[in-house]
């Protein structure tokens, strides 16, 4: 097996592992479950990820890296802070379109004590870097008179992240995917100085309602 095939197989394993994680949690799937989905032997999974701990560390790193890159893409794509925040909520909305799935970070956070320390470090990196991005976006929006809120940028960023993560859990428990979007829409309305006024979008010139 050449290097490219090795890399491709490892990515397929991580893809299936992430799907299983988002549906069943860290302790809810086994290497046998992955082997059946990928159609390889369990020994092949152990070749790439000797233990489930090794697997979850790689999974955490990959997901956090991808998520943070999406935030950087929002910065590059949109000038409007409010549009960036709206697109941020849509990242979660797209995840829960499948009512059986949750954000990998949400699932892993519920089982954090069972995770290797390196995996917990990636979860902490997700929280700190996402809150930092939210804080910077809020600060820019407030300075541009596009957003308004009380308290510090840091406290507001924590409120937003915690609220959205919690809303995902409630939406899954209730079976009502619209619950999450309702919470997200309320958060965005509360941040707007004048909710009736359309807000300019990114460099394409879209309004928030058109995005």
Residue 160's CATH number: 1.10.357.10
Q: Could you tell me which residues come within 8 angstroms of residue 1 by beta carbon, excluding any fewer than 6 positions away? A: 9
102 and 88 assigned to the same domain: yes
| DSSP code for 210 | G
- Tell me if 199 sits within 8 A of 207, measured CB to CB: yes
152 and 194 assigned to the same domain: yes
147 and 101 assigned to the same domain: yes
The neighbour count for residue 110, using CB atoms within 10 Å, is 13
- Tell me if 78 sits within 8 A of 87, measured CB to CB: yes
94 and 194 assigned to the same domain: yes
Domain of residue 32: give its range: 1-50
- From first to last of its 211 residues, what are the pLDDT tens digits of the chain? 455 566 799 999 999 999 999 999 999 999 999 999 999 999 999 999 999 999 999 999 999 999 999 999 999 999 999 999 999 999 999 888 877 789 999 999 989 999 999 999 999 999 999 999 999 999 999 999 999 999 999 999 999 999 999 999 898 888 887 889 999 999 999 999 865 454 444 443 333 333 3
35 and 111 assigned to the same domain: no
63 and 45 assigned to the same domain: no
31 and 104 assigned to the same domain: no
Distance (Å, whole) CA 141 – CA 181 = 22
106 and 46 assigned to the same domain: no
126 and 182 assigned to the same domain: yes
77 and 98 assigned to the same domain: yes
**Nearest C-alpha neighbor of 118 from the set 162, 31, 55:** 55
The domain total for the chain is: 2
19 and 115 assigned to the same domain: no
Using CA of residue 86, residue 76, residue 128, residue 157, what is the dihedral sign? negative
State the pTM of this model: 0.85
> What is the CA 58 to chain-centroid distance, rounded?
16
Using CA of residue 49, residue 53, residue 55, residue 61, what is the dihedral sign? negative
Q: Could you tell me which residues come within 8 angstroms of residue 140 by beta carbon, excluding any fewer than 6 positions away? A: 81
Tens-digit pLDDT profile for residues 127-158: 999 999 999 999 999 999 999 999 999 999 99
Strand, coil or helix: what is 175?
A: coil
């Amino acid at each position: 097996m050449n290097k490219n095939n090795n890399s491709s197989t490892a990515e397929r394993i991580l893809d299936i592992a992430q799907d299983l994680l988002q549906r069943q949690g860290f302790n809810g799937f086994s290497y046998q479950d992955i082997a059946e989905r990928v159609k390889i032997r369990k020994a092949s999974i152990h070749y790439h990820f000797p233990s489930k701990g090794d697997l979850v560390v790689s999974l955490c790193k990959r997901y956090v890296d991808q998520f943070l890159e999406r935030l950087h893409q929002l910065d590059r794509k949109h000038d409007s802070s409010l549009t960036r925040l709206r697109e941020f909520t849509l990242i979660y909305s797209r995840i829960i379109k499948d009512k059986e799935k949750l954000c990998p970070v949400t699932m892993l956070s519920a089982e954090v004590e069972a995770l290797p320390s390196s995996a917990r470090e990636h979860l902490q990196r997700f929280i700190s870097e996402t809150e930092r991005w939210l804080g910077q976006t809020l600060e820019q929006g407030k300075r541009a008179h596009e957003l308004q809120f009380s308290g510090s940028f840091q406290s507001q960023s924590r409120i937003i992240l915690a609220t959205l993560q919690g809303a995902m859990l409630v939406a899954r428990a209730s079976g009502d995917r619209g619950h999450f979007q309702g919470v997200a829409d309320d958060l965005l309305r509360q941040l707007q100085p004048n909710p009736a006024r359309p807000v300019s979008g990114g460099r394409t010139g879209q309004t928030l309602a058109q995005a």
